[in-house]
Amino acid sequence: MTASSRRTTRWLLTGLVVLTVGSALVGIAIGPVLIPIQRIFASLLRFETGGLSTIQEVILWQIRLPRVLLGLLVGAGLAVSGVTMQGLFRNPLASPYILGVASGASTGAALAILLAGGFAPLLPVGAFVGAAIAVLVVYGLARPGNRTTEVFTLIMAGVAVGSFFSAITSFLIFLSSGGEKLSDVLFWIMGGLGRANWTVLAILSPVVLISIGAIFCFARDLNALALGEETAQHVGVNPETLYRWLLVLTTLLTAASVALAGTIGFIGLAIPHIMRLLMGPDHRRLLPASALAGGCFLVWSDLLARTAFAPAELPVGVITAFFGAPFFLYLLKAKKARF
């Protein structure tokens, strides 16, 4: 990497940090009740309480702030896990959902909604358990054989197990024969940040932050892996250890995200590519950049999802793909990307 491109990436990273803070403020400010941005600071830093009405205080602290924070966490989690999967499998089509996590989580969530009815806390638990079962089955199937075939078997098993769980989910939806539960299931599958609250955040944020931090520690090893498993080993990176750690971490990250926000598509697949086009392939910069960009992107998408057709709320996955895909295609053409 030349000195000038290094300076560019530093600017881009700084810009992303500023953008993230800005996005969070805008996400908190805008909604059915507007909250002036300068007063958000005051309230967040507890300088004064007189600036906002009680209702605004409640909206800020109980609705908007948790929602924005959840957006940042889930967006960052999906993007980081996407970068990691693409780096690990050296495959541009890899996404956080490649090992069947999303399908398993959907089945778990659908079961929870249909069986447990309105008991809300069970949904994320069901989703997490579903995701864990799907991934365990995939790993179990892919275990034997040497390393190279293992990676392929892993992807194939992910696709197969994913299809199987999708079939179960479809069957459950068929059994539910319409009604409110069905729309609950469908809305969850399409993803959204509507379930944000402080309990959810307290559980999710340590998992997401620790996993992301741990993945950052493997940035150099992911760079070396781009040269192939054997070359990576020759420069002192043990591919087996790398696979073991990173698969566990990405699964944790994805399962936590999916359990709380449903399956939000596109971020995990495209944000890594977009950032790679802008920042270059070095994971030491790509990982933090993707985390920030994924968070920002989800906050903005969520803002649109809840305001565009207010008071109705669009599934946020519709927005992420609707705006993300054309931008991605534009970058592909403009930058003449090679994968």
Residues in contact with other proteins by the rule CB under 8 A: 1-2, 87, 90, 217, 220, 223-228, 230-231, 233-238, 276, 280-282, 338
Instruction: Give Cα 96 distance to the centre of its chain.
Output: 8
Least distance between other proteins and beta carbon 222 (Å): 10
Give Cα separations from 189 to 137, 192, 251 (angstroms).
21, 9, 18
**Gap between the Cα atoms of 240 and 224, Å rounded:** 13
Least distance between other proteins and beta carbon 328 (Å): 17
Q: Which is nearer to other proteins, 2 or 54 (CB)?
A: 2
Least distance between other proteins and beta carbon 293 (Å): 17
Q: Name every residue whose Cβ is closer than 8 Å to that of residue 222 and which is 6 or more positions away in sequence.
A: 84, 87, 88, 242, 246, 283
Q: Which is nearer to other proteins, 90 or 195 (CB)?
A: 90
The answer to whether the beta carbons of residues 79 and 266 sit under 8 Å apart is no
Q: Which is nearer to other proteins, 148 or 199 (CB)?
A: 148
Q: Which is nearer to other proteins, 83 or 157 (CB)?
A: 83
- 10 Å CB burial of residue 214 (0-12, 13-18, 19+) is middle
Phi/psi at 252 (5° precision): -55, -50
Least distance between other proteins and beta carbon 96 (Å): 18
**Gap between the Cα atoms of 263 and 97, Å rounded:** 9
Q: Which is nearer to other proteins, 39 or 273 (CB)?
A: 273
Q: Name every residue whose Cβ is closer than 8 Å to that of residue 62 and which is 6 or more positions away in sequence.
A: 197, 198
Least distance between other proteins and beta carbon 304 (Å): 32
Q: Which is nearer to other proteins, 70 or 224 (CB)?
A: 224
Which segments of the chain are extended strands (E)? none
Q: Which is nearer to other proteins, 88 or 200 (CB)?
A: 88
Least distance between other proteins and beta carbon 157 (Å): 22
Give Cα separations from 14 to 5, 18, 22, 271, 288 (angstroms).
14, 6, 12, 17, 11
Least distance between other proteins and beta carbon 194 (Å): 36
Residue of 104, 80, 76 whose CA lies nearest to 255:
104
